Amino acid sequence: MIKKNIVAIIGSNNNRSQTKAITENILNELIKLDQAYSYKGIFLGELNLKYCIGCQKCFNDGFCELDKLDDMVLIREYMEKADIILLASPVYANDVSGIMKTFIDRISYQFHLLSFSGKLGFTLTVADHSGSEKVIEYLDHLSIHLGIKNLSNYSFIYINDSMYEKPTLIAKDMLRKIQGNYGYSNYYLEYLFRMYKSETLPKDAVNFENVSHQNELKFWSQNWIKNTDSFQEFAAKKRSINYDLYEK
């Protein structure tokens, strides 16, 4: 049986990370409840991850030069192979953690490509008492811009939540949301797809030299995308491309 693969990006640098412990609790519960799933936790604190240096070459080239020097390629590959992506961050000073932001900066050129279309997603924030709302909103927004259909956002607050009960509740809710879901699209993803397809391409573009964000323009002007009418169809095609790459 091919299992549905959940990849959790865990944005903490703390070697006794609560976010890691809670994420693992949730996902262990989930696979206990339904063995059709497996998971891979990517704990950013254990990886070599360099800061974005702001060169913006990725928007033109479609890859980041720093990928040659650290573990970002590995993270991108795990995300590409995933069926479901969970973005988990602790709340630090009312925001995502620094290491989560580094990951986000390094992946940001992929926002304009809706790179992870055809995947479902969840977000999780962990805080001592406050600041989760803003982080949830941010991670939710990022998921959508990566092409992910986000099914739910969860927050874990120490003063309120039981380490024993809440991970199980979240695991059950995740399964309910996945099983009750149909397709990979929603209103906002359809809107983004139409926008990128029609508006990023200059009407008079003949070649892409000297145009900024060349890689995006090239991507959105491919024939297979021109012949795709909806995000749902785009996502289904992307899933079959990934299937060809990874499953055979």
Which parts of this chain interact with ligand FMN (CB under 6 A)? 12, 14, 17-20, 90-94, 126-131
Toward ligand FMN, which CB reaches closer, 22 or 64?
A: 22
Ranges of beta strands (E only) in 91-174 are 120-127, 149-157
Closest to ligand FMN by CB, 91 vs 171, is 91
Element (H, E) at 93: none
Amino acid identity for residue 121 in this structure: G
Could you list the beta-strand ranges (E) of 30-96: 37-43, 84-90
Least distance (Å) from ligand FMN to the CB of residue 206?
50
Smallest gap from Cβ 128 to ligand FMN, in A, equals 4
102 vs 117 by CB, closer to ligand FMN = 102
Nearest distance from C-beta of residue 32 to ligand FMN, angstroms: 23
Confirm if 246 and 80 have CB atoms less than 8 A apart. yes
- Nearest distance from residue 51's CB to ligand FMN, in Å? 17
Q: Which is nearer to ligand FMN, 104 or 144 (CB)?
A: 104
Q: Where are the alpha helices (DSSP H) in 110-213?
A: 132-145, 166-179, 187-199
Name residue, tokens 């992910």: 148
